[in-house]
Structure 1
Amino acid sequence: MHPTREGASVATTPPAVLAFYAPDVAAVGGSLTATALLGLVPLAVFFLLLTAARRPALHSALGALLAALSVAVLGYGMPLRLGALSAAQGMAFGLFPVMLIVVSALWFYELTVVSNRFEDLRRSFNAVGRGDLRVQAMLIAFCFGGLLEALAGFGAPVAITAAMLMALGLPRITSAVTVLVANTAPVAFGAMAIPITTAGNLTGIPAGDIAGVIGRQSPLLALFVPQLLLFLVDGWRGLRQLWPVALVTGGVFALAQFWCSAHFAYELTDVVAALAGFAAAVLMLRLWTPRTPDDQRSRVDAEPLTGRRVTLAVLPYLLVIAVFALAKLDAGGLRMPELLGAADIQLNWPGLYGTLLAPDGSPAGSAVYKLEVLGNPGTLLLLSGLLVTLVYSRAKDADRFPMTPRTGLACAGRTVRNMRRAIATVATVMALSYVMNQSGQTLAIGTWLAATGGLFALLSPVLGWLGTAVTGSDTSSNALFATLQQTAGKAAGIDPTLLVAANTTGGVVGKLISPQNLTIAATAVEQPGSERLLLRKVVGYSVVMLAVLCVLVFLQSLPVLSWMLP
């Protein structure tokens, strides 16, 4: 056990009763390198269990958590009691707010499915493309997929849009590859921007600041992805014939991401961007008619949609924008953030706060648990879902679109049951990240990596890419590496906010090749076992986009492009 650090007074407390602990980047033999390499062991255990041993993510996270506790206690000298309390705090954060947001978002989406309104929404997208299969595929994979990523995430966009593209008549493997590539640009702000919220909570950097920087990186992908989708669906012919509508769709999506990430509710960035991109495509196709070859005409729905049915299908997404906008309203004497914030919970974690110390001997701020109760995105989504249930249950066409409050509640229970493994996995990953952060493992690794100096900015997105590629989640990647990025940035003299944002944006293109996403795509197109084929088809796009992001972040860390940052 380490001796008490300078600045901490424990003269009146017997060591057997209360043990103080502060992280030490040279805890192992007085060597930073040895300490950092030992700190990498839990991450190595996690990745090896997940890939080489092919264990489920939950088992891998549990193994890594045990490794992190062992390293903390035996290698770094952290009292076992404090290590266990750190893990408990991380699990609490993994449940509230992280999984509260994710489960609420998925329930919100499921309401449109159980009410049968989802089919009308799908047909609305189909009707826009003027019978051109390529345009419809782009809109469904990019705009609707982006909307699903914003609300649900966790593989739902890939599974749903892949099945929709197959229904349009697209070949199975082409459908899978198209939706995998499309599920890149929206990922950073997915599931109500929970990757960003997680990074903000772990690092102490305001989540809005991180979102603002990501809004200067991710839109670059959004600008070109729709054109890439046309190429995937119909090669150079599709790109040559349809580039104007792809450019408009991607351009408006990118502009909406850029504006919303810094000037509106960052949690709604992808919701606004997806709807704005879709609206821009609708307007473009009213002014410009694509030249559609016979072999690229889509199947036509026999029954026409009425304006009322389209309105009710889109209504949930308009409601969620209105609810979030109202929650952020701070004008005209109505200070909603302040009113909602009155119910916030701030808890000095029992047994941990005051005994876990910062380097200067003061109580570590990371031992304070904070939870927005009313202003939390999960709470706002629950409210939005209740409003949707109320509106749908009072609709006059209940015979065709059945929805009652009981149906909505049953859907909520079913969503929680279906998500129970994901809930346990995320809670365990958060416990792992808290143990690594509060024991000093992340601090040692970050300080060690900072020896690369300014070049670390070039490598920063690679960590996020690797984390998401392996875990299948940008949120988990940020849980593992956000604090590391912050520490390395401070030590190397690089803006920590830029590097934390780069971790998130790098994870965006890592999602493309994650085994979890590949399996979901293969299953959705009824081609189990085709994961290796899909990986071969998409890995090149992932690497190229990662290289572009690496160069962009490096230049943003220098005067060359630093003007881009907020």
Structure 2
Amino acid sequence: MNIDPLGSIGLSAFVAAIPIFFLFIALAGLKMKGHIAATIATSLAVLIAIFFYGMPTQYALAATFQGALFGLFPVCWIVITALFIYNMSVATGQFEVIKNSLASITDDRRMQALLIAFSFGAFIEGAAGFGTPVAMTCAMLVGLGFNPLYAAGICLLANTAPVAYGAIGLPVIVGAAVSGVDEMALSQMVGRTLPFLSCLVPLYLTVLMSGWKKGLEVWPACFVSGGSFAIAQFWSSNYLGPMLPDIIAALFSIVCTVAFLKFWSPKETWRFPNEPKSEGKAQLMYTGGQVFRAWAPFIILSLFVAVWGIKPAKAALEHIFFYKWTNPYLHNMVINYLGKQVPAVYNFNFLSAAGTAILFAWFFSIPVMGASMQTALKAAGGTFKQLKWPIYTIATILGFAFIMNFSGAAITLGTAFAASGSAFPFFAAFIGWLGVFMTGSDTSANAIFGKLQYVTAEKIGIDPVITMSANTCGGVCGKMISPQSISVATAATGMVGREGDIFRFTVIHSIILATLIGIMHYLWAYVFPWMVPAYEKIIAGAPKPVVDAAAAAAKKAATIQEGYMYIVGGIVLIFIVTIASRIAGAGPIKVAAGKDKAHFH
């Protein structure tokens, strides 16, 4: 892997960035459809890999193919199954109950955005990650009557503060493992940075939706929503580690915000200009049991993804089925900039995938919603039709990300940023931002640039935990402009073909927030070094402890056994929720015109 094919890192970086420049121009300026822009950008990346980086054509095509496979599974699998549940909820009329229950708490669109896009979205991010929260919350907001463009933009913007601890802390865990930074220290450093963003984002959302005057009117609710999230995020990340901050913070934020709205409400209800004027908070038209039943599928979804995210449970599921495919045309064929062979292994972990957890939630939700199998399958079939182009776009974009990584182009761009010297803590955030823009994943950005961040930090004499935190936190700001994330949002809001509109909506906010993250990490490095956690640094070259094979096997068996217990316990709890929701929610439900009332029991 030659990271400077033209003999000038600046010139090489310019060439490496051509596909990225094209994506920006195509989406923001040319208003090109996402699948077309993704196809051209990926083609450009392949050509640059072959003709500038000297990558054999076979390797370049194999890398692109492997990325597309990853895009189809697990990424698209999550989006597909998440929309299974939403579409069935709409088809059975249960979503009308959800809408009414939210409107009875508040009919103010700003408050609904805080509860769903920010707090509930953070919970789903913590449990599943990888596009699930955007898919779920976008669909819910559109179902409530939000303008689709605003629903997509708001959900993408809200999905920033929780991303670093998404999927049970995976970005931090992977970042620590790849870079060599202590995992708890990285969790603490990220947890001392993102709470500032968590406090800001709710108010940012409301101002973006309704303008400065109307946005500032609801600052108390924003303060409660973001402040409660920030406090819980700081505490859990600094004292418990990276796995639970999102889930704990989201639940605390939801409870605090709902409780606050019982005693406080905006002076004037705000709705989008094209909506009819609000007639006041809606009256709850359903019994508590019926509301519980309508929300039960999403409770079941949360339980499934939470159980699936527990390490022992994941190990147990992968013990049952786990297929690993080694790409014969790419595996260990590429030597990276550290002189190590790059593996090309595709893991088909169907049972332990978050999308499969959501699929099981869909199965359990069929009787909860009172749907016939015909209705459920029809909703599922409609989902595939709805996602035809987004699936293609996501697969293509992941192909783009993989060819950028395997060719060395991504490292070229990172190295160019690293040449900034003492200003590197600021630019380190934009390396993470760029990584997430390319891959759609903070985890992937940390995997790509983790070692680069560590090595560069040591060269300029600052603690590597600062630059790794910058990479992680900067990455969360790139999520909202990632073509992968935008494709998920367009699929969930019915805006397929309008990816450019969403990109233009989010790009300036992405840059503003990434700049803020960069400034904070520059301050942590040189002005407020006491913000950096104290930890025991790993000495390079130190001998690794000898692992006893028998003890390791016994530990693995015990972990799997523990995982089965988690799974059984989780399913028992889900059965209880399923049965309780059917009993509590018994009775007729008003169905929107055109729905088949025979499907309700």
AA aligned opposite 2:440 = S
Give the 3-state SS of the residue equivalent to 2:328 in structure 1.
Answer: coil
Partners of 1:88 and 1:126 in 2: CA distance = 46
Partner of 1:388: 365
| Identity across matched positions, percent | 25
Partner of 1:186: 159
Partners of 1:102 and 1:267 in 2: CA distance = 22
Q: After superposition, what is the alpha-carbon deviation per residue over 1:318-349, rounded to whole angstroms, capped at 9, x for unaligned?
A: 2223223333456xxxx423212322333321
Partners of 2:378 and 2:241 in 1: CA distance = 30
Distance 1:356 1:410, change over 3 A: same
Partners of 1:458 and 1:405 in 2: CA distance = 54
Match status 1:311 vs 2:292: yes
Q: How much does 1:70 deviate? A: 1.8
Partner of 2:372: 404
Paired residues of 2:121 and 2:137 also in contact (CA < 8 A): yes
Number of aligned positions between the proteins: 509
Partner of 2:79: 102
Q: After superposition, what is the alpha-carbon deviation per residue over 1:372-420, rounded to whole angstroms, capped at 9, x for unaligned?
A: 3322111111111111123323xxxxxxxxx123322222222122112
Query: Which residue of the other structure, out of 60, 63, 88, is the alignment partner of 1:83?
Result: 60
Match status 1:58 vs 2:35: yes
Paired residues of 2:157 and 2:480 also in contact (CA < 8 A): yes
Match status 1:416 vs 2:384: yes
Query: Which residue of the other structure, out of 7, 24, 31, is the alignment partner of 2:2?
Result: 24
Partner of 2:404: 436
Q: After superposition, what is the alpha-carbon deviation per residue over 1:72-105, rounded to whole angstroms, capped at 9, x for unaligned?
A: 2222222111111111111111111111122222
Partners of 2:421 and 2:391 in 1: CA distance = 38
Query: Which residue of the other structure, out of 37, 42, 45, is the alignment partner of 2:19?
Result: 42
Query: Which residue of the other structure, out of 306, 319, 329, is the alignment partner of 1:325?
Result: 306
Match status 1:507 vs 2:478: yes
Paired residues of 1:466 and 1:510 also in contact (CA < 8 A): no
AA aligned opposite 1:312 = R
Distance 1:557 1:337, change over 3 A: farther
Paired residues of 2:163 and 2:476 also in contact (CA < 8 A): no
TM-score, normalization by structure 1: 0.73
Q: Which runs of 5+ in 1 are unaligned?
A: 1-22, 167-171, 394-402
Paired residues of 1:205 and 1:497 also in contact (CA < 8 A): no
Partners of 1:415 and 1:522 in 2: CA distance = 12
AA aligned opposite 2:79 = V
Alignment of 1:253-264 (within 5 A): 253-257=229-233
Alignment of 1:104-503 (within 5 A): 104-129=81-106, 135=111, 138-139=114-115, 142-143=118-119, 152-153=132-133, 157-158=137-138, 160-161=140-141, 164=144, 180-181=153-154, 183-187=156-160, 193=166, 205=178, 216-228=192-204, 233=210, 239=216, 243-257=219-233, 273-286=249-262, 288-290=263-265, 292=267, 298-301=279-282, 304-329=285-310, 335-342=312-319, 343-358=321-336, 363-365=341-343, 367-393=344-370, 403-462=371-430, 476=440, 485-486=449-450, 488-493=452-457, 494-495=464-465, 497-503=468-474
Q: How much does 1:311 deviate? A: 0.8
Distance 1:453 1:252, change over 3 A: same
Give the 3-state SS of the residue equivalent to 2:341 in structure 1.
Answer: coil
TM-score, normalization by structure 2: 0.69
Higher mean C-alpha displacement, 85-94 vs 368-377 = 368-377
Query: Which residue of the other structure, out of 531, 537, 553, is the alignment partner of 1:561?
Result: 531
Q: How much does 1:243 deviate? A: 4.3
Q: After superposition, what is the alpha-carbon deviation per residue over 1:163-187, rounded to whole angstroms, capped at 9, x for unaligned?
A: 7366xxxxx7xx9769845642324
Distance 1:374 1:453, change over 3 A: farther
Partners of 2:168 and 2:32 in 1: CA distance = 24
Q: Which runs of 5+ in 2 are unaligned?
A: 271-276, 458-463, 537-601
Partners of 2:493 and 2:357 in 1: CA distance = 34
Distance 1:565 1:404, change over 3 A: farther
Paired residues of 2:83 and 2:135 also in contact (CA < 8 A): no
Higher mean C-alpha displacement, 499-508 vs 210-219 = 210-219
Q: After superposition, what is the alpha-carbon deviation per residue over 1:285-311, rounded to whole angstroms, capped at 9, x for unaligned?
A: 44x345746999753435632111111
Paired residues of 1:152 and 1:190 also in contact (CA < 8 A): no
Paired residues of 1:98 and 1:194 also in contact (CA < 8 A): no
Give the 3-state SS of the residue equivalent to 2:476 in structure 1.
Answer: helix
Q: After superposition, what is the alpha-carbon deviation per residue over 1:107-132, rounded to whole angstroms, capped at 9, x for unaligned?
A: 23323222222121122122223x77
Paired residues of 1:245 and 1:281 also in contact (CA < 8 A): yes
AA aligned opposite 2:71 = G
Give the 3-state SS of the residue equivalent to 1:370 in structure 2.
Answer: strand
Paired residues of 2:34 and 2:487 also in contact (CA < 8 A): no
Q: How much does 1:228 deviate? A: 4.7
AA aligned opposite 2:227 = G
Give the 3-state SS of the residue equivalent to 1:84 in structure 2.
Answer: helix
Paired residues of 1:109 and 1:152 also in contact (CA < 8 A): no
